[in-house]
Amino acid sequence: MDLLYKIFADPFIQMGHAPDLLLQTLWEGLVGGMLYALIALGFVLIFKASGVFNFAQGIMVVFAALTLVGLHAKGVPAFLALGLTIGVMFVLAVAVERLVLRPLVNQPDIILFMATFGLTYFLIGLGELVFGGDPKVMIASELYLPKGAIDWKVFGGFVSFQKIDIAAAVIASVMVATLAVFFQKTRIGRALRAVADSHKAALSVGISLNQIWVVVWFTAGIVALATGIMWGARSNVSFALEIIALKALPVLILGGFTSIPGAIVGGLIIGIGEKIGEFYWGPLFGSGIESWLAYMIALVFLLFRPQGLFGERIIERI
Amino acid sequence: MRLKYLAIGAAVAAMTGGSVIAANAQAQEIYVPLATYRTGPFAGSGIHIANGMHDYLDMLNARDGGIGGVKLNIEECETGYDTKKGLECYEQVKAKKPVIFNPWSTGITLGVIPKASVDKIPILSMAYGLSASAVGNDFPWIFNPPATYWDGLSMIFRYIGGKEGGLDKLKGKTIGFIFLDAGYGREPIPLLDQLAKDYGFTVKQYPVPGAEMQNQSAQWLNVRRDKPDYMIMWGWGAMNPTAVKEAAKISYPMDHFISVWWGGSEDDALPAGADAKGYLALNFSAVGPNFPAIKDIQKLVVDAGKSQTAKDKVGTSHYNKGVYNSVLIAEAIRNAQKITGKKVVDGADVRRGLETLNITAARWKELGLPEFGSPLTGVSCTDHNGHQSAYMQQWDGAKWVKVSDWIAPMKDKVRPLLEAAAKDYVSKDAAWPKRTEPCDKSS
């Protein structure tokens, strides 16, 4: 009886007693969720264009952020370093298309998936070789990212909004909206959607697969850079960020591998769900449940929608 | 035809001769492998320690020609702080007859403990690893000086007691414990629970899974709700700077946030900068490069281009812990040479050397490291730790400042618990070997 009370009553009583903490938890979940959505978006773009699950997306977040702070540490001004990092991500996209994807065209998907494993370890090695393995402080103030917090006194308590978190939420929203418009309204965006529907049909109408791959890998690189800057500013830039990036997996399970809205909604559900779960129900299980709770949430959704929230329903007749 | 055989014969002779010469050269060296991690999520902590360890031993080679006239063959093996890789490192170096193995991870230490007595390789887990392995009778091949995690926790409570006007004042208070959810982070929990019973405070635990090291907002929201009077941290790698930032974010009073020695690196506090002002951490080695031995490292190793250390990192908090670790290795080898009369010692000899570790204040000075650590005088055949003191350092917004004298551990509380834990460990393994190694007179 006591257990039932702790599961079904006590958390809601707590929410009522301290609504400021509930709001704070929702805010933390929202910011985390936006960042998960950004990472998931990187996976979705590449999956849509090439059918490849890009295992390297996580390390691309670290690599992009490391390049930015590493260049700045070598004396390059912050905004020039940002431009150069974007350049590096473009070179990476071209290199991946030329050296990894193109030679593996028509190979089974699993081969391409394994190739992204190889790419992951290559980027880890390259990052450590060039910039070292020690964590670095994100150049947040040099990039004019805001510092400090705004405290909102409410319900007899307060909700603290870190300015960097507000910036992260705004930047993530703008990026998602820009990408949505880019892929819906522009010529390249329409070409990408054609490639996503059918490689052969897209080729037959003169769409260059190679060009599309470069575009999506570059876009995924930009998304990785934005995520790396934001997450790096919240903690620091270290190789541990790669593990966080894998948090996008439950987001993808939930939102579907091919849906941009799915990545966004999935990110928010996972972000808010895991924070609420950890905060109100975590102590019942000895806390630290966040890492598996995200997968539990995704699995519960899959019971009802096996294709994910917005994923395409695949019906194969045999 | 004869010429051909002659040529083959000459080649074989040259090869054989060469290998004999190489073997002789190898026999004139003391092999010291260092399990390090310069890569992965924990590299931020591991790099400085690896540099400190390696540079000190390199300096001995450059300045003194090794130890007792025998060169040290120093070799790093990258573990990535991964237990599986660490155990592979152990197996790799085992064949080369190491005189000591430094796992540099509690997980790896737990994995090599049962192997050490079989392979005759002493394990040095300096101020980490299994606290109970301090009991020399049960763990003759394992050493964890200068203090166990349980000593560290008891020192933190002594410090808190001092601030509160006595440990009895902790009755009714709440102590938060945030820790890496791994063997290392869980290690002090038995003593924490015992102290909670003894002094009547409540413990709130906040585990941080390895995958969430940089995503701790939920844990710190719990801290904000529970309002613990003090927060104690057992973190590592990327977990520490994130925790310090999160604590500052919820405006937790930083002078009530105390870490064990592994949260006391500059990199742990620097990302939060001035917001981390007041954050406390234990330390057992001095911070700074102003010691003759460290000046020698700078001159003979770093400036000579033989090191991976950036010049401004020499003398930082974790770097000096690496130096401390290598001082223990070097002193154990010296003792072994003295006890056995041999120049080229082996693992069994160095085990005896570790049991006779005795670094007095005068010896620290002789080593060119005056007051670098508290005198390490308690290590013996039965006590493989020494239970030495540590001090509290505080972040002033830009650097660490020593804010306490040496704090002695509560040996009276810790030692009986260690003995019981050692007994429990041994009783769970029916095949655990009884100690057969005799004690040296001096130990």
Residue spans per domain, chain B = 27-148+293-387, 150-286+393-417
The pLDDT, as a whole number, for residue A107 is: 82
Mean pLDDT of chain B: 93
Whole-angstrom distance, CA of residue B337 vs CA of residue B352: 10
- pLDDT one-digit tens code per residue, B327-380: 999 999 999 999 999 999 999 999 999 999 999 999 999 999 999 999 999 899
The pLDDT, as a whole number, for residue A312 is: 67
The pLDDT, as a whole number, for residue B1 is: 46
Beta strands in B237-298 (DSSP E): 257-259, 280-283
Q: How confident is the model at residue B21 (pLDDT cuts 50, 70, 90)?
A: very low
- pLDDT one-digit tens code per residue, B111-134: 999 999 999 999 999 999 999 999
The CA distance from B241 to the nearest CA of chain A, in Å, is: 7
**Residue A143 near residue A229 (C-beta atoms within 8 A):** yes
Query: Are B27-148+293-387 and B150-286+393-417 in the same CATH fold?
Result: yes
Percent of chain B topping pLDDT 70: 93
Closest Cα in chain A to B313: A134
For residue A317, being part of any structural domain is answered with no
Q: Do B225 and A240 touch (CB under 8 A)?
A: no
Is CATH 3.40.50.2300 the right assignment for the domain spanning B27-148+293-387?
Answer: yes
The pLDDT, as a whole number, for residue B277 is: 97
B41 near A CB under 8 A: yes
Q: Do A283 and B222 touch (CB under 8 A)?
A: yes
pLDDT at B397 over 70: yes
B71-78/A149-154 β-pairing: unpaired
B243 alpha carbon, distance to own chain's centre: 22
B189 near A CB under 8 A: no
The CATH number of the domain holding residue A114 is: 1.10.3470
Whole-angstrom distance, CA of residue B286 vs CA of residue B36: 22
The pLDDT, as a whole number, for residue B9 is: 53
Q: Do A286 and B225 touch (CB under 8 A)?
A: no
Instruction: Name the more confident of B48 and A51.
Output: B48
For residue A54, being part of any structural domain is answered with yes
Q: How confident is the model at residue B411 (pLDDT cuts 50, 70, 90)?
A: very high
**Residue B386 near residue B408 (C-beta atoms within 8 A):** no
For residue A284, being part of any structural domain is answered with yes
A166 near B CB under 8 A: no
Cα angle, residue A201 at apex, residues A199 and A204 outer, rounded to 5°: 110
Chain A residues with CB under 8 Å of B271 CB are 135, 137, 235-236
| Mean pLDDT, chain A cut into blocks of 10 residues (318 residues total) | 88 93 95 90 85 89 95 95 97 94 84 92 92 89 92 92 92 86 86 81 87 92 94 87 83 86 90 94 86 88 82 67
**Residue B419 near residue B382 (C-beta atoms within 8 A):** no
Q: How confident is the model at residue B5 (pLDDT cuts 50, 70, 90)?
A: low
Which residue of B43, B222, B249 is in closest CB contact with A279? B222
Q: Do A290 and B209 touch (CB under 8 A)?
A: yes
- Counting beta carbons within 10 angstroms of the beta carbon of residue B273, is it exposed (0 to 12), middle (13 to 18) or buried (19 or more)? middle
Range of the structural domain that residue A98 is part of: 18-304
A149-154/A157-162 β-pairing: antiparallel
Q: Do A243 and B211 touch (CB under 8 A)?
A: yes
Q: Which of B214, B242, B313 to mutate to test the interface with A (most CBs of A within 10 A)?
A: B214
- pLDDT one-digit tens code per residue, B64-102: 999 999 999 999 999 999 999 999 999 999 999 999 999
* Count of CA atoms in the C-beta half-sphere (13 A) of A128: 20
How many folded domains does chain A comprise?
A: 1
The pLDDT, as a whole number, for residue A316 is: 65
pLDDT at B15 over 60: no
The CA distance from A266 to the nearest CA of chain B, in Å, is: 18
**Residue B388 near residue B126 (C-beta atoms within 8 A):** no
The pLDDT, as a whole number, for residue B102 is: 96
For residue A8, being part of any structural domain is answered with no
Q: What's the mean pLDDT in B254-263? A: 98
Chain A residues with CB under 8 Å of B46 CB are 133
A28 near B CB under 8 A: yes
Residue A298's alpha-carbon distances to A35, A255, A271, B105, B327, in angstroms, are: 17, 9, 11, 34, 52
B224 near A CB under 8 A: yes
The pLDDT, as a whole number, for residue B304 is: 97
Beta strands in B261-313 (DSSP E): 280-283
Q: Do A291 and B209 touch (CB under 8 A)?
A: yes
Query: Which class does domain B150-286+393-417 fall in?
Result: alpha beta
B39 near A CB under 8 A: yes
A157 near B CB under 8 A: no
Residue A281's alpha-carbon distances to A296, A298, A310, B226, in angstroms, are: 14, 17, 28, 14
